[in-house]
Structure 1
């Protein structure tokens, strides 16, 4: 799930997943962090989910995927689109 909040010329995007699915550590990896695994790990929230927030420039398009333990890559079902391999996010 994606949560977004406009803040002037930026957008705070929070990437949210259930705490247990998939099991183990998960990070969001994309063009905004030079596709570095572990740069934005999802952390537990009080509501039983886990999340990480990334601040991105407004009016942009970004590619990303999730990376879980065991080199398991997966997409965001609620992304704004997909480019064949990656999820797409419009800010």
Structure 2
């Protein structure tokens, strides 16, 4: 799930997954962090969900995926779109 907050000239995007699905650590990786899983690991928040927040330029489109334990790559079913191999987020 994607949550957005508009900022002046930018958009804060929060990538959200349930705390227990999938098991183990998960990172959001994409063109905004050079596909580096160490940059945006999802952290458990107060509502029991896991999340990572990224600030992106307004009116832009970015590719991303999630990377879980055991090199398990997966997409976000609620993303703004898909380009064949990646999820897409529109700011």
Partner in structure 1 of residue 52 of structure 2: 52
Matches within 5 A, 1:47-86: 47-86=47-86
CA distance in 2: counterparts of 1:61 and 1:18, whole angstroms: 24
Partner in structure 1 of residue 42 of structure 2: 42
- Runs of 4 or more, structure 1, over 4 Å off, are none
Q: Does 2:30 match 1:14?
A: no
CA distance in 1: counterparts of 2:65 and 2:26, whole angstroms: 10
Deviation sequence 1:5-41 (CA, Å, 0-9, x none):
0001000000000000000000000000001122100
How many pairs align?
91
* TM-score, with length taken from structure 1: 0.98
CA distance in 2: counterparts of 1:11 and 1:41, whole angstroms: 19
> Over the residues paired in the alignment, what is the CA RMSD in angstroms?
0.5
Give the Å deviation of 1:76: 0.5
For structure 1, list consecutive stretches of 5 or more residues without a partner in the other structure. none
* TM-score, with length taken from structure 2: 0.98
